[in-house]
Chains A and B, each alone.
Chain A
Amino acid sequence: MAQRQEIEAPSKVILIGGSAGSLSVLLVVLPLLSERINAAVVLVMHRHTRSEDLLEALLASRASLPVRDIEDKDQPQRGIIYTAPADYHLLFEPDGSFALDSSEKVNYSRPSIDVTFESAARVFGTRAIGVLLSGANADGAEGLYEIEQHGGITIVQHPETAEVDYMPRSALQLFPPAYTVRPGEIAPLLVRLASDISAARD
């Protein structure tokens, strides 16, 4: 059993939110994230309750980092990709651990990207990196803005490259994020933003 003290806290927490049209982007991004990044990666996807294991299996087959389901009060660890479970909101406790919540849907969604992003902004502040991808819903825009306001780094998929541009456009209408990028640029950018200084010098 994992003991708390053995866990190395990641220097960054990368939060990726998406809905319709975002899976194909993840399949471009995830294979390029390697152990070089000193970050935990947390995916919040709008998904059907019953498709639970299929999404994890698909992502795990493509990602180079391990993909793990979240259990309540797990501590996010460096170099692990976590998926927010269907039918729960994903929040963070003050100590950075995951906390689940099955209260009412937000933006017709559970998990809601806004809920996770807002919680991450409060808990991780400048350590948070928020990424908002393709989607047919405004969920995530407000939350990404919260990350920005708490000093985190914000990235939006360029709407012209999005299968469904409503979600990224909603964010761009709200505030100018630090980066607006194409799918192919996301992983290199994350690696640059979240690498150890020592690793970057290698």
Chain B
Amino acid sequence: MQIELTEDQLDTLIDDVQRQYGYDFGDYARASLHRRIARLMTVDRFVSFAELRYRINSDKDYLSRLIDMVSVNVTEMFRDPSFYAALRTQIFPVLATYPLIRIWHAGCASGEEVYSMAILLKESKLLDKSIIYATDINPTALSVARAGIYPLAQMQKYSENYVAAGGAEDFSSYYTAQYDMVKMDTALTKRIVYATHNLATDSSFNEFQLIICRNVLIYFNQTLQDRVFHLFDDSLEGLGFIGLGSKESIRFSTVEASYQQIAGKDKIWRKGKK
């Protein structure tokens, strides 16, 4: 049986976490955040809100558990294959003209889509002149990404996605299987830099030609979404690209006027000249 979590209790928790640890969930999408915290209470068997509150305030290590639960880490390789096909055919030819390609993958979770990007770059012979900065709020997810070890059971689906995205190689050549896990080829990781970064509070740290942020903004309310779009805008060179999740859009943001969606229905926008 699930314990009811009231809106006031959720506010209290958000305040506690903000004051004590500096993580600000105040502008996260409310409905989803509510579900995540309610789920945390169920899964970790808290019998009351007071107990959860005490645990969070008194146990620093439990914060990472909270962050792990709140930051939804559901992801897959070549998620929405047509997005990756569009990157390959429409965006990479433009990126290829730069001497050094800088890509920011914001909210990369456990890294499946970062490896997808690295595979695409490698096949387009662009990996050696690219740097992918892969960031996430969740250190636990980042350590999974860094290790590049994933369940073998997922590979069938990823392989289908890869083919649907226009992949022509043997997908299994990108990993080595051992028992029920696979390890991604280390040749893919040499151009990836992992770091924690909190989109709600941290600032711009470089300039990029491509920013990927997929299925992250759906967890933010419009205020925070707008903050993030400004952060991306500050971090994107003129004529650079932003790629979002399949149900996300730049259209409610105040930076929208400087961007144009590329042809087709894929969620990629190009910035105008600065």
Chain A residues with CB under 8 Å of chain B are 1, 69-73, 85, 88-89, 91-94, 99-104, 115, 119, 122-123
> When the two chains form the complex, which single residue of A71, A94, A101 contacts B35, counting CB atoms closer than 8 Å?
A101
Given A1-B251, A72-B249, A115-B35: A102 and B218 within 8 A (CB)? Answer: yes
Closest to A50 in B: B164
List chain A residues, Cβ under 8 A from B225: 73
- Return 17 A-B CB contacts under 8 Å, by A number: A70-B247, A72-B218, A72-B247, A73-B222, A89-B35, A91-B31, A94-B31, A99-B218, A100-B247, A101-B35, A101-B218, A101-B219, A102-B74, A103-B39, A104-B74, A119-B31, A122-B31
Whether A103 lies near B31 (C-beta < 8 A) is: no
Whether B248 lies near A91 (C-beta < 8 A) is: no
List chain B residues, Cβ under 8 A from A101: 29, 31-32, 35, 72, 218-219
A107: shortest Cβ distance to chain B, in Å? 14
- B123-163 interface code vs A (CB 8 A; 1 in, 0 out): 00000000000000000000000000000000000000000
> When the two chains form the complex, which single residue of A72, A92, A94, A102 contacts B72, counting CB atoms closer than 8 Å?
A102
Closest to A142 in B: B2
| B252 at interface, CB cutoff 8 A | yes
Given A93-B221, A104-B74: A99 and B32 within 8 A (CB)? Answer: yes
Known: A91-B31, A99-B218, A102-B218; 15 extra A-B contacts, CB below 8 A, are A1-B256, A71-B247, A72-B217, A72-B218, A72-B248, A73-B225, A91-B29, A91-B32, A92-B31, A93-B29, A94-B31, A100-B218, A101-B31, A119-B31, A123-B31
Give the 5 A-B residue pairs with the shortest CB-CB distance, closest first.
Answer: A91-B31, A101-B32, A103-B72, A100-B218, A72-B218
A163: shortest Cβ distance to chain B, in Å? 30
List chain B residues, Cβ under 8 A from A91: 29, 31-32, 35
Distance A123 CA – B7 CA, assembled complex (angstroms): 12
List chain A residues, Cβ under 8 A from B88: none
Given A92-B31, A93-B30, A119-B31: A102 and B248 within 8 A (CB)? Answer: no
Distance A1 CA – B30 CA, assembled complex (angstroms): 25
B135: shortest Cβ distance to chain A, in Å? 19
Whether B249 lies near A71 (C-beta < 8 A) is: yes
List chain A residues, Cβ under 8 A from B32: 91, 99, 101, 103
Distance A91 CA – B246 CA, assembled complex (angstroms): 17
Whether B35 lies near A103 (C-beta < 8 A) is: yes
B66: shortest Cβ distance to chain A, in Å? 15
List chain A residues, Cβ under 8 A from B219: 101
Whether A99 lies near B35 (C-beta < 8 A) is: no
Distance A115 CA – B256 CA, assembled complex (angstroms): 31
List chain B residues, Cβ under 8 A from A122: 31
Closest to A4 in B: B252
